[in-house]
Chains A and B, each alone.
Chain A
């Protein structure tokens, strides 16, 4: 079936910084860019008629411009891409009777045609005549994880109350205008100064040497599900009065430097960039990479306080204009006569942080027995050599085995667990 939508706003403009950043990443990953598709399943509090749910989906798309925005050439420019917001359109919606998770995987399995496909795929999962679940799959240009959360929350409100209370949410075209204006440029200049300063001292890349043991396909993901690591992170954060995210980032950075053979670590943490009032409620992709640098040649506990401050600076630098970053990277690469890019990123995707908490050693020991390591993904291309993701499922490492073999990937995750558990035990 199709859902028609008709909103009051339309227009064309430059990408926001977040859209520009994910667009560059998508282009570098093509044709494996379906990697960035992701979705959510909304279980309805009670089953509803198809037409009711379809109307709510239409209202959701009308409310959030991002969900009816396509990539387009900007008028008056040659080959400069930007965002084009359509007021009206027709969104295809599948009606299926299958397991919601399978439906999500199927909808997410193919890449979006960014200039033609609406950036939202929807399926209504039915039992008999009634809808029990709504499956939403997002193109990463339309939303990041936090943006998708807002969309799902609003869809639930539209179904339950028929409207979403509160003011109209901010829209990507407005954000792009703010970013290009004087206040946006001031923020961009501060961030650019950080990128420039820190680039002077980072290794050209964190994993430069060949692993001599490339797998086929070359990109693999190892997932460590470790209740012991989770407990240890909270305990270390509690003991050293830093955030759990800082503990994970500092450990990731120190071990990456050890495996790559460096004293200074450079990691690109992905920040939600939803710190400002004008960005908190927006459905869009705001998350971008910041630059985290730290001299890691010292015991791990001594790293934590400096890592906390370095993390704040890195997360601040994530709200930047990708054009500034390109300029900084090109200048530094030219100065050194070799390409400079850490090739090492960190994404703390946990929507809820359990927070610091002490843990007795015997509980850590008991939890260690539950650790599992699996290999859930492999593919041909990725825009990075080394990506650590933290989620409710565990800590995963997605790496290019031409630089870090599968055995080393597993060793890295086991060492990460060991470092954190040992530190928590002391």
Chain B
């Protein structure tokens, strides 16, 4: 469920440039799918607002944000 919701947020943040389906299916980093830096900033805001967490903005934290499965796992471990 979290993974699906995150994929929907990816689509919304990227104005549909990266679809939820692509994000779910590809297994590639979101940046490799074409998630721009503005879309990533929007995704950070959306994840924080929806899940009530503070996204880690270190290099390692951003690597997690770039990986849908890792991000979903971190959020479900909360």
Chain A positions near chain B (C-beta within 8 angstroms)? 190, 241, 243, 245-246, 272, 274-277, 305-306, 308-309, 311-313, 315-316, 353, 355
Contact of A245 among B37, B42, B45, B59 (CB under 8 A): B37
Question: Is B38 an interface position by the 8 A CB rule?
Answer: yes
Residue among A241, A243, A277 making CB contact with B36, cutoff 8 Å: A243
CA distance A306 to B57 in the complex (A): 11
The answer to whether B36 and A316 touch across the interface, beta carbons within 8 angstroms, is no
Q: How many A-B residue pairs have CB under 8 A?
A: 41
Across the interface, which residues of B come within 8 angstroms of A311, CB to CB?
Answer: 37
Query: Given A245-B37, A309-B57, A316-B44, 10 more contacts at CB 8 Å?
Result: A243-B36, A275-B44, A277-B45, A277-B46, A306-B59, A308-B62, A309-B61, A312-B37, A312-B62, A353-B36
State whether the Cβ of B58 lies closer than 8 Å to any Cβ in chain A.
Answer: yes
Instruction: Check B41 against A315 for contact (C-beta < 8 Å).
Output: yes
CB distance from B39 to the nearest CB of A (A): 9
Q: Do B45 and A275 have beta carbons less than 8 Å apart?
A: yes
* Nearest CB on A from B25, distance (A): 21
Bound state CA distance, A306 and B36, in angstroms? 17
Residues of A within 8 Å of B41, CB to CB, are: 275, 312, 315-316
Chain B contacts with A in 55-75, Cβ cutoff 8 A? 57-59, 61-62
Q: Is the interface of B mostly helix, strand, loop or mixed?
A: helix
Question: Within the complex, what minimum Cβ distance (angstroms) separates B35 from chain A?
Answer: 10
Task: Answer whether residue B77 sits at the interface, using C-beta atoms and an 8 A cutoff.
Answer: no
A278 to chain B, nearest CB (A): 10
Q: Which of A274, A275, A316 has the most CB of B within 10 A?
A: A275
Does B3 make an interface contact (CB < 8 A)? no
Closest to B29 in A: A241
Q: Which residues of B contact A275 (CB under 8 A)?
A: 38, 41-42, 44-45
> How far apart are the CA atoms of A309 and B41 in the complex, in Å?
11
A313 to B37, CA, bound (A): 12
Which residues of B are in contact with A by a Cβ distance under 8 Å?
A: 31, 36-38, 40-42, 44-46, 49, 54, 57-59, 61-62
The answer for the CA separation of A311 and B45 in the assembled complex, in Å, is 15
Find out whether the CB atom of B57 lies under 8 angstroms from the CB atom of A241.
no
Chain A, residue nearest B12 (CB)? A277
Q: Pull 5 A–B residue pairs with CB atoms less than 8 Å apart, ordered by A.
A: A312-B37, A312-B40, A312-B62, A315-B41, A316-B57
Q: Are B57 and A305 in contact (CB under 8 A)?
A: no
User: Whole-angstrom distance between the alpha carbons of A275 and B54 in the complex?
Assistant: 16
The answer for the CA separation of A308 and B38 in the assembled complex, in Å, is 12
Given A190-B54, A243-B37, A245-B37; A276-B59 close (CB under 8 Å): no
- The answer to whether A309 and B36 touch (CB under 8 A), given A241-B31, A275-B41, is no
Report chain B residues within 8 Å CB of A313.
57
Cα A308 to Cα B29 with chains together (Å): 16
Of chain B, the residue at the smallest CB distance from A274 is B38
Chain B residues lying within 8 Å of A272, measured Cβ to Cβ, are 38
Residue of B nearest to A279 (CB): B45
